[in-house]
Amino acid sequence: MSTVIGLLALSVLVLTLTGGNAAVIALAAAATVLALLFTCERYINYRKTVMAGELTMQTQITHQAMAMDDYMAVAYNLEEETFSNRFGEFLADGMMTLRQFQKRVNIDDRRELFAAVERIRTCEEETTHLKFRWNAATITQPRWRILEADLVREADTNGHTRAVTFILADVTERTERQQVFAELGQKYFKLFDSTLIAMSFYDADGHLLDLNENMRQLCQLTPEIEYFYRTSSFYDLPVFRQDFDPKSRNFFHVCHHQFSPDGSIENYVEVRVLPVYDGDTLRYYIMTARDCTEERNLYLNQRRRLQELEESNKVVNTYEEELNYLLENSEMWVWKYDLSTRTVSFTRSLRDTGFTQTFDEWVDSLDPDGSDDAIRMLGELKGEDTTFNGIIHFRKTFLENQPMWCMVSGIPLHDSAGHLTGHFGVVRDITTLMETQEHLRRETARAENSGRMKSTFLANMTHEIRTPLNSIVGFSDLLQAIDNTEDRREFIRIIRNNCDMLLRLINDIIEASTMNQRPLSITPTDVDFAKVFTDICQTLSQRVQEPGIDFIVDNPCSTIPTRLDAGRVQQVVTNFVTNAIKYTHKGHIKVGYRLIGSATEVDPKAAIASQTPAQPAAGPTALFVYCEDTGAGIPKDKQASVFERFVKLNDFVQGTGLGLSISKTIAERCNGTIGLTSEGEGHGSTFWFAIPIEISGDAAMKQES
């Protein structure tokens, strides 16, 4: 432009110098026009260059902005129905058909997306904004991403829509973060409402924003009162008006008396206000509160007790001299342990030290029987800050070289810095008291045992008498209905046998009650044991009345003339069978005997399996009697104790446990052995006893004949 102006000025100057000659003027004008045209062409080319550069620069700026925000652009050609990358590499192959693009869009978002495309195509909208889900992987194994899209209409020179540009941004992570923030917000509100602390929030001007249920209950807020707090500032409340500084960054702490004129509210509340800043800007206040009424009452009570304690100390000082007098005139000493020197001092005066010994010497004087417990208690003296109280038995003391029982109690002592320095306590001589207690304990145990033995004796006597008494009563009733002389004679014999056994049982019970004072009596007589065993089994078979139980008698010999106490043998067998009946509810009860070689070395299973001749030879041997049942069995851990006095394996089964104990005594008095075999619970039991006998010569004579 400046060049053109220069040429015009030159032309004017030429005209002026030539005096206005027409030819010269025409020549000058032509030169001027040519120069002007040349300059304009250069100017136009220059403007095109500048505009192209500006457009390129704007495009570069746009691309840089999109790249910084991770935006991509895709153009949808409406005529060809294809998608192609406009900016970025959104489409991996650079181009995609409409059908392929639709398959990548989530089916739930597809309708909305292409409805927006249609609105832009028909010029209802120039641009629109929406979100849709895009499958960034394969169709069979999708990987869904959330895309945010701005759809922009592109027109041709005639104003018709030729394409729709999708400006896309992947907002999957941002959406997920927003969802996480939303969940955190829900957790916050839940925590805010469920916390045990009364809490509320205020804005920077002191207006109530929110509060939890605990704050509402603590202040007993009604809707009207809550509205007041939301529309007014807490700065103006009397409790904050004078002392609260809104410019302070420190929390504000105050305790005030909260009450209402009608008396429905009357408590003391501790309030804390914490300002929350964002840099230098105050954002809001957090206010917490708690009811400290009970704590205040406790504090006032503690102060009152301290005053009472001071008064009590005065009284204690008054009685100190009386206490010293009591120590000096009673069986009591004050002791003190020094942790640094490990010495124990004893005295009957709080001012003077009477006797001193080392801690090891004190421990050495303990009685060995109770030394473990005593050392455990006295071990507290080695440095543990605890009190202790207990009874210690000494084999000797610093006063006398003889045993003594002492009640020892102690408390820890500390210096001004709170460090443990030792213990202080009292030792009291309670030897007489302990001896009296021991005597009382023995007498009490004796009395309790006497009562228990009395009850057990009565129960056992009833149990043992029942068996023969039932036989006597039963056969006596049947005797009236029997006309046969042999049968009547047999019944009378059975009744007499049971009467004899009943008398023996009574004698045995009396003897069992005094078994420790004198031994059980055994009276052998000449009997045929085979016949005696038959009588015993006939009597016992009547006791097996439960259906489903077979009573089996194993009597292998026709005669066994010998000398033994048949009543004692019958008593043992009766006890065996009685116990078997109690614990057997199906199967069988088998009673039998065998003749074996020894009464002390017995193998029960081998003895039962052995064969005894019907006519045994005369000479010394041993009688093995057993009772086998299919009952409850006996646990392995209890088999060793069943022959003790008053032992019962089942408290719900009738009996007292005296029968097996008497049976054991009878077997031992006959120089024999007794025992049992059982595989455990549910496998039945076999009780047996073996006593030495000698078969007389009559058996040998019968065998020879």
557-606: per-residue pLDDT in tens?
989 999 999 988 998 998 899 888 888 888 999 999 999 988 888 888 88
607-651 pLDDT, tens per residue? Answer: 888 888 777 877 778 999 999 999 888 888 787 778 876 555 554
Tokens of 161: 């829509």
In the chain, % of residues over pLDDT 90: 18
Sign of CA dihedral 28, 34, 36, 42: negative
Query: Which of 254, 258, 257, 284 has its CA nearest to residue 272?
Result: 254
pLDDT band at 232 (very low <50, low <70, confident <90, very high): confident
344-401 pLDDT, tens per residue? Answer: 888 776 666 677 888 888 788 888 777 777 777 776 666 677 787 888 888 887 777 7
Q: What is the pLDDT of residue 691?
A: 93
In angstroms, what CA-CA distances link 238 with 218, 233, 287, 483? 18, 11, 16, 120
115-145 pLDDT, tens per residue? Answer: 999 999 999 998 999 999 999 887 677 888 9
Instruction: Kindly state the average pLDDT of the residues 160-185.
Output: 85
Instruction: Indicate if the pLDDT at residue 15 is higher than 80.
Output: no
Q: Find the range with the poorest average confidence among 89-103, 491-505, 592-606.
A: 491-505
**195: helix, strand or coil:** coil
Question: The whole model's pTM is what?
Answer: 0.36
Q: How many residues does the chain have?
A: 705
Alpha carbons 123 and 644: distance in angstroms, whole number: 112
Query: Which of 564, 531, 695, 705 has its CA nearest to residue 617?
Result: 695
In angstroms, what CA-CA distances link 263 with 95, 268, 616? 81, 14, 110
Decide: residue 96, CB within 10 A, 0-12 exposed, 13-18 middle, 19+ buried: buried
Instruction: Indicate if the pLDDT at residue 233 is higher than 50.
Output: yes
Q: What is the pLDDT of residue 652?
A: 42
The strand ranges marked E within 63-218 are 71-77, 82-87, 95-97, 127-135, 144-155, 161-170, 198-203, 208-211
Three-state DSSP string of 217-233: HHHCCCHHHHHHHHHCC
pLDDT band at 17 (very low <50, low <70, confident <90, very high): very low
Tokens of 289: 């509160």
Q: How far is CA 23 from the centre of its chain?
A: 124
**Comparison of pLDDT for 687 and 14, the residue scoring more:** 687
Query: Which of 503, 468, 691 has its CA nearest to residue 575?
Result: 468
**696: helix, strand or coil:** coil
Tokens of 690: 């073996």
Q: How far is CA 514 from the centre of its chain?
A: 54
Alpha carbons 578 and 536: distance in angstroms, whole number: 12
Sign of CA dihedral 447, 452, 455, 457: negative
Q: What is the pLDDT of residue 351?
A: 60
Tokens of 184: 């955190």
Q: What is the pLDDT of residue 146?
A: 92
For 620, other C-beta atoms within 10 Å of its C-beta total 9
Contact criterion met (CB below 8 Å) for 258 and 267 = yes
* 104: Cα within 13 Å, side-chain hemisphere: 18
Q: How far is CA 252 from the centre of its chain?
A: 43
Report the mean per-residue pLDDT for the chain: 78
Alpha carbons 562 and 552: distance in angstroms, whole number: 24
Q: What is the pLDDT of residue 527?
A: 92
Q: Which of 123-137, 192-206, 393-407, 471-485 has the highest mean pLDDT?
A: 123-137
